[in-house]
Structure 1
């Protein structure tokens, strides 16, 4: 199996074979042959990995290992045994085999898969001395067997999971969601979107549903590789996997996306459709919907894709869409004219009206909306391409059955008429008071009980704003699971520095217990996302939503996405950098506001040490409070660099401020052997950690706090003290053990819980530690 002659097969939806072949050719793959249900191609490893990373139209990328005799089960086994599996399956990789198709002899696909599995295991045992592990649920290497008449094709699935399951889909998106992504990508391909997008075309989806069309359109235009954020691939179990080539491909894809996103943001405003906010200019990729829950879902997808800067999902219908199409098309033509391009080459606007059942109040209104939108699209400037995906509208206007090719628009671009079906969702309307005293806002929700959430949020926010103005607090919590069925934490961040005048919402959902219906929990969270910006008067694109999952021993935080949204906020006159999108934690723990102020008040003239320093916010307060020296210690270089920026941004960049990357427990042990001692120490450890940088050791605050505090107090000068904080709600200090080692602990928790966290005083525990 020489690299340059490897055979692959890319499967796809029927009807997309030709566009998929073109897509593979664009990736530099020369030997391409469209077949029924996919495309066969020959290339080296690097190009195969590129196909996995970049294909928008392929469902799976398969490495063809061999074709075998399937006339009899024994022949199938013998031929499969002869295949060079030691050159295909990576050492140590687990496997699973699935089979499809039958003939007269092989009537049971499970039996067929079992025969091939036995052959693979026997071959690898003979070649390596041990059988591979079999993992039917999450194999490292998934082997596919396709039986057709008397032959079978055996392949290795390099995708691992369907490429149609985009990374911007939510974990609880239904089984139909990947198909929506595939249909959207197919519609755009058939409309020639790639070429138009490169020329600066815009895309408007008049009834965007969950946003598949507009997100796929923006992804292609911004040069975002569909597989860029995937963390699990089938080729990780492939012996031929080239890690260096993959790393190069990822680096190149990252750079291309950065450039593409910047270019898209420069070509259009990011704050809302021009029809709704004429002062904001033009949005290149816009989705419109009359359903607030659908808007929330679509915005969530855009954010998870890293496209928040380029995509706008807003309330609206056919009339708003018609006006927006006109503005976008005219602006695109004007921009190209200003650049010296011929007027006749204006790329126009691809218009997709995807009117599924979720968007319909009645069949009659759906047909009326579709007809109105088609009329608006047809009247748009020359050079526009249009796609309508609604069965009734297609039949009424063109007399064709849905699913057939129709020609729309003045330039007669042929596109596929697609039909998206979704179950109708029960809805209710909540009238939300305007926080600025204007007219009430009408918000459609999925759960009638969401009205209670809206009322509670509006009431608490009104009180909290007054308190914040009185106390000079600019970042605070406004809601923390006040209602058990709406278990979210909502924080307000007021921008500072270059972000002065902007206000942001950070919404963290507490993952519901298994006893709660996931679909209902999702509807409630969608309602929260729809209601919160309205009740608080904050721009929807300044809302950042994430999920916090509880684990044994405390809270575990998952990466909320690779794309960051970095801005600055103010705390007690200090500028702090926050990332509202990159991770669940933003870079500043709001419940420690009073604790940081305590550190600052105690720091004058002292040598200060910050352990488990995170982004160094406590160090900023200590330096601002007059500490003569500061030392900031954390295991993460990312957070240390962040801490440096926070310090430098507030004028604390001298040699008296040091930053050390180290495992804190090991650092304490080493420093105890030195004469170096500190007057004030702040230590805020995580609840649990098993970082690879710690080696085989793990950290558990309940288990390890005695050892930690003994070491910390041994670093104190005579009369020095340490501020020890812990966010494990069930934490109980071992006072007896600490006393035996001369550690005195004073509980100061009550004085460190800010007003905006008083409803939930177990958010953290805080102590003063001294040497007895």
Structure 2
């Protein structure tokens, strides 16, 4: 009999070795799988013992197919009554396409029709369709005009072992975890490296798979059902024999298994999931889980072992540099504490592993779902006491020469601004903004917190060299500003597109208040790319506060409505704040409440500002502030916004709402912005950019441009 086992891309060579070891014959690697021959016992053994396969398929017919009619005819060539009772149920899965068959749902219906029509014609009744628990699963695949129709013997994908009912964010699949362990030579290396540690274990998948492998537990034993168990040709006696043998091996393996599996994570919630998963797998006595930050990871014993982990790799904006510190920290810990161990680090961002700073033994390319990933293998040799002492001394050395240069500039800026900050009672301001080309960061102070934004380096810049500069920055800041490193927040600043400015970057929920000209403003340095306060607009907010008394104030593209707070504190009659983000409007309302304003005179409108402006006609405001983004193509907007192209329309629409003696303040952060005075000749337009730049942004006067617009 011929069979096909499927697996994720990159696992094919391992699957060939595994099937061969299970006794399969004529094993041949294919794209995303392996073909093999054998008796039905070979297929059952693959379903029961394969740690890598997704499915085991048994082809029942092949044909050259181009059209839906040919597909129907080819399926009817099979005598389906040999596989399914007329009162049974089936489900059909179809993959692939031809020029005429280009919709998988239509094709699967065609396959289903061919099967049920055969039953109706022969028996005057037909099987039903059951997508969840059918008696027969049919798999049809077309590639380059060649159709293969198979019986799916596995049922639900074999990577599901049924022990993992809960998981944290972005868990790896069980068969991928097994592949990482095989590539790291587990359990072959267990004699020399007896322990397994995952210092970022999440819901425990890697450790559970490692323990199952060492204990010789068939992964299929953990599943409640396989696809062939309701198949008409199922050999129940053969299957029970295989189960009994696997159960005996399991009992013997667990009896000799040592509790040498260790997992840690910073997240208590996922650790509870890991413990529950290990208990369902029957392994809770052998795996120890504890809450620990990865930077504090240490060998659980002196016996040596294998460290296998899958650290985060940074899909969100602003994460790259922070993750470099994570990977460098892992590398430093491996070098200083894990002599005599082996390590395997799996990541979807291989550049990050450059920061580990260790020479690799091997690198394997694998897929984590759709993500191209790599597994890095390292051997860690034991160091002498002298080498360890030298490493500790190196770590405790003072700032490097480069870091000291950056520290000196920080001290200089701090001294220059000290008097201005004190005189103006300012809690938050920009201390440094890429003053030295090698240190392309912005450093902002928010009370006793420091917000560091790294300007994304060009692709031509070596990532490790760029990271070393950031490491110097993060070493100098606590020393100069006398703040703990835990209060220094690092992000990478890239050009924002689409909805990036609205996307949440984390979930720490650390809000605190800062003061500005008598206003209390809520900021969050962790969860978003921006903090809730645009520091460069401080003079504009101060101007609004001074002019707002007794006026109706409108704030367009309001963000967290800090300008509206200033207007309210300045005595505005009413404030109206418009933004399309519900998140930021909620933040805006809390800003208002923090200053004692929660009455009917403060209005908040969730809307695309351009759409809202077009619906308004009546002059109803005395003071308007508009600070649109440079560019936005948010799905929530009806049109793409380009401030250079659209500023004339925005200003004209806003001016319709301005009373005769009123004023519109228009600003934006597009560095090459040019006001179209000619198109706005019906208004008095005056640039006030120079008056809206405070001393902390004098080094970067193009940070924004600002204009006053009035009726003549």
TM score, norm. by length of structure 2: 0.54
Residue aligning to 2:102: 124
For residues 289 and 182 of structure 1, the distance between their equivalents in structure 2, rounded to whole angstroms, comes to: 20
- Residue 694 of structure 1: SS of its match in structure 2? coil
Residue aligning to 1:285: 293
Aligned match for 1:469, one of 399, 419, 422: 422
1:756 to 1:305, Cα distance in 2 relative to 1, 3 A: closer
For residues 691 and 334 of structure 2, the distance between their equivalents in structure 1, rounded to whole angstroms, comes to: 51
- Residue 636 of structure 2: SS of its match in structure 1? helix
Residue aligning to 2:269: 260
TM score, norm. by length of structure 1: 0.51
1:693 to 1:483, Cα distance in 2 relative to 1, 3 A: same
Q: For residues 181-260 of structure 1, what are the structure 2 equivalents within 5 Å?
A: 213-214=198-199, 216-217=200-201, 260=269
Contact 2:404/2:476 (<8 A) preserved: no
For residues 761 and 547 of structure 1, the distance between their equivalents in structure 2, rounded to whole angstroms, comes to: 22
Deviations for 1:583-642, whole angstroms, at most 9, x for unmatched residues?
Answer: 211111011111111110010111111111111100000000000111111111111111
Unpaired runs of at least 5, structure 1: 1-6, 18-30, 41-61, 91-116, 130-142, 160-165, 170-177, 191-203, 206-212, 222-256, 265-281, 291-297, 318-353, 361-365, 375-387, 392-401, 404-417, 423-427, 433-439, 495-502
Contact 2:613/2:653 (<8 A) preserved: yes
1:706 to 1:485, Cα distance in 2 relative to 1, 3 A: same
For residues 703 and 737 of structure 1, the distance between their equivalents in structure 2, rounded to whole angstroms, comes to: 12
Deviations for 1:349-397, whole angstroms, at most 9, x for unmatched residues?
Answer: xxxxx8x68864xxxxx6xx658xx9xxxxxxxxxxxxx5489xxxxxx
For residues 451 and 180 of structure 1, the distance between their equivalents in structure 2, rounded to whole angstroms, comes to: 47
Residue aligning to 2:221: none
Contact 2:318/2:493 (<8 A) preserved: no
Aligned match for 1:568, one of 501, 509, 512: 512
1:450 to 1:82, Cα distance in 2 relative to 1, 3 A: farther
Residue aligning to 2:405: 452
Contact 2:317/2:529 (<8 A) preserved: no
Residue aligning to 1:486: 439
For residues 422 and 47 of structure 2, the distance between their equivalents in structure 1, rounded to whole angstroms, comes to: 67
For residues 659 and 521 of structure 1, the distance between their equivalents in structure 2, rounded to whole angstroms, comes to: 43
Corresponding residue pairs, total: 483
Residue aligning to 1:764: 704
For residues 178 and 684 of structure 2, the distance between their equivalents in structure 1, rounded to whole angstroms, comes to: 61
- Residue 494 of structure 2: SS of its match in structure 1? strand
Q: For residues 2-21 of structure 1, what are the structure 2 equivalents within 5 Å?
A: none
1:123 to 1:285, Cα distance in 2 relative to 1, 3 A: same
Contact 1:725/1:764 (<8 A) preserved: yes
1:558 to 1:721, Cα distance in 2 relative to 1, 3 A: closer
For residues 182 and 543 of structure 2, the distance between their equivalents in structure 1, rounded to whole angstroms, comes to: 54
Residue aligning to 2:658: 716
Contact 2:553/2:572 (<8 A) preserved: yes
Residue aligning to 2:385: none
For residues 318 and 380 of structure 2, the distance between their equivalents in structure 1, rounded to whole angstroms, comes to: 27
Residue aligning to 1:577: 522
Aligned-residue CA RMSD (Å): 6.0
In the TM superposition, residue 303 of structure 1 has moved relative to its aligned partner by: 12
In the TM superposition, residue 288 of structure 1 has moved relative to its aligned partner by: 4.0
Q: For residues 234-633 of structure 1, what are the structure 2 equivalents within 5 Å?
A: 260=269, 284-285=292-293, 287-288=295-296, 360=335, 389=342, 419=378, 442=397, 449-494=402-447, 503-550=448-495, 557=501, 559=503, 561-570=505-514, 571-633=516-578
Aligned match for 1:680, one of 594, 612, 623: 623
Contact 1:681/1:723 (<8 A) preserved: yes
Q: Which has the larger radius of gyration?
A: 2
- Residue 623 of structure 2: SS of its match in structure 1? strand
For residues 513 and 541 of structure 2, the distance between their equivalents in structure 1, rounded to whole angstroms, comes to: 15
For residues 528 and 588 of structure 2, the distance between their equivalents in structure 1, rounded to whole angstroms, comes to: 16
Residue aligning to 1:728: 670
For residues 89 and 596 of structure 1, the distance between their equivalents in structure 2, rounded to whole angstroms, comes to: 61
For residues 80 and 528 of structure 1, the distance between their equivalents in structure 2, rounded to whole angstroms, comes to: 67
For residues 600 and 300 of structure 1, the distance between their equivalents in structure 2, rounded to whole angstroms, comes to: 44
Deviations for 1:717-769, whole angstroms, at most 9, x for unmatched residues?
Answer: 12100111110000000001100xx2211111111111111100100011111
Deviations for 1:649-703, whole angstroms, at most 9, x for unmatched residues?
Answer: 111111111111122122122211xx451111111111111121222x1111100
In the TM superposition, residue 558 of structure 1 has moved relative to its aligned partner by: 8.0
For residues 546 and 758 of structure 1, the distance between their equivalents in structure 2, rounded to whole angstroms, comes to: 23
- Residue 545 of structure 1: SS of its match in structure 2? strand
- Residue 507 of structure 1: SS of its match in structure 2? strand
Residue aligning to 2:165: none
For residues 80 and 65 of structure 1, the distance between their equivalents in structure 2, rounded to whole angstroms, comes to: 24
Deviations for 1:509-558, whole angstroms, at most 9, x for unmatched residues?
Answer: 21122332334323323433343333322222222222222379x99758
1:125 to 1:180, Cα distance in 2 relative to 1, 3 A: closer
For residues 612 and 100 of structure 2, the distance between their equivalents in structure 1, rounded to whole angstroms, comes to: 50
For residues 666 and 303 of structure 1, the distance between their equivalents in structure 2, rounded to whole angstroms, comes to: 32
Unpaired runs of at least 5, structure 2: 19-44, 77-90, 108-140, 160-167, 189-195, 206-265, 274-289, 299-309, 345-360, 363-376, 382-389
Deviations for 1:160-214, whole angstroms, at most 9, x for unmatched residues?
Answer: xxxxxx9899xxxxxxxx9999679999999xxxxxxxxxxxxx99xxxxxxx53
Q: For residues 627-666 of structure 1, what are the structure 2 equivalents within 5 Å?
A: 627-666=572-611
1:745 to 1:220, Cα distance in 2 relative to 1, 3 A: farther
Residue aligning to 2:229: none
For residues 500 and 579 of structure 2, the distance between their equivalents in structure 1, rounded to whole angstroms, comes to: 18
- Residue 758 of structure 1: SS of its match in structure 2? helix
Deviations for 1:70-93, whole angstroms, at most 9, x for unmatched residues?
Answer: 9x9989999999799x97579xxx
1:691 to 2:634 alignment: yes
For residues 73 and 446 of structure 2, the distance between their equivalents in structure 1, rounded to whole angstroms, comes to: 62
- Residue 679 of structure 2: SS of its match in structure 1? helix
- Residue 591 of structure 2: SS of its match in structure 1? helix
- Residue 766 of structure 1: SS of its match in structure 2? strand
Contact 2:202/2:270 (<8 A) preserved: no
- Residue 692 of structure 1: SS of its match in structure 2? coil
Residue aligning to 1:703: 645
- Residue 691 of structure 1: SS of its match in structure 2? coil
In the TM superposition, residue 151 of structure 1 has moved relative to its aligned partner by: 13
For residues 168 and 692 of structure 1, the distance between their equivalents in structure 2, rounded to whole angstroms, comes to: 25
Aligned match for 1:750, one of 685, 690, 695: 690
Contact 2:66/2:99 (<8 A) preserved: no
Deviations for 1:378-433, whole angstroms, at most 9, x for unmatched residues?
Answer: xxxxxxxxxx5489xxxxxxxxxx99xxxxxxxxxxxxxx95569xxxxx99x99x
Contact 2:689/2:707 (<8 A) preserved: yes
- Residue 287 of structure 1: SS of its match in structure 2? helix
Contact 2:317/2:494 (<8 A) preserved: no
Residue aligning to 2:244: none
1:608 to 1:551, Cα distance in 2 relative to 1, 3 A: closer
Residue aligning to 2:285: none
